[in-house]
Amino acid sequence: MTVRVMVVDDHPMWRDAVESDLTRAGYEVVAVAANGREALARFAATEPDLVVLDLQIPAPDGVAVTTDIIDRRPQTRVLVLSASGEQDDVLAAVTAGATGYLVKSASREELLAAVARVADGEPVFTAGLAGLVLGEFQRRSAAEPDEPRLTDRETEVLRMVAKGMSYRAIAERLVLSHRTVQNHVQNVLRKLQMHNRVELTRYAIERGLDVDDEV
């Protein structure tokens, strides 16, 4: 199936160039946007499979847009394409839910390769950034206290949430009521001291839960 992509950048020439490269490579560019507000509105209207996104865009910025996108539709992949390679920007983007991060000095070939890999759910980073991200998450993990134990059912529900399944779909798969699934999710959020599906998804990925397996 053709991968449906949205391109978000406030620089028209750059945005048009990325759109053109993706179209020539066989991707379907379903929307473009110049700021965070446009991005969220057009994302809701088109529900792309992948978003190529600049961080430094008019409000809301790229980190906030990434958070909102993953919260609305966790199966959508986000590839950040930014002029900044600063550690804080990279970590903020990954924590928000971005699957990949490239700096704008990347070549056309590197961009297209990254889009293909991110579309498959594979993390992609400009050289040197992957080690930075891994090292930071390992540091944070080592600093965390022992985590509360989840029941087998809670873990099962967590994996399905991380796959982007709706509560209704989870209920049908597990032959449970919609309310029971909601209760399980609320229990997991409470135990892990988290607030939303985005945080649960990041938790599942960072802890190595095999969210790509069929459930």
> Which pLDDT belongs to residue 211?
46
> Which pLDDT belongs to residue 141?
53
> Which pLDDT belongs to residue 215?
43
Residues with Cβ within 8 Å of residue 93, at least 6 apart in sequence: 55, 62, 63, 66, 78, 80, 82, 101
> Which pLDDT belongs to residue 214?
46
The CATH architecture that domain 152-206 belongs to is: Orthogonal Bundle (1.10)
Given the DSSP bridges, would you call strands 100-103 and 77-82 parallel, antiparallel or unpaired? parallel
The residues of the chain scoring below 70 in pLDDT are 129-147, 206-215
CA geometry: angle at 66 spanning 71 and 58, to 5°?
130
Residues of the chain with CATH 3.40.50.2300: 4-140
Residues of the chain with CATH 1.10.10.10: 152-206
> Which pLDDT belongs to residue 133?
64
> Which pLDDT belongs to residue 156?
87
- Classify domain 4-140 at the CATH topology level: Rossmann fold (3.40.50)
Sheet of 100-103: strands edge to edge?
A: 28-33, 4-8, 50-53, 77-82, 100-103, 124-125
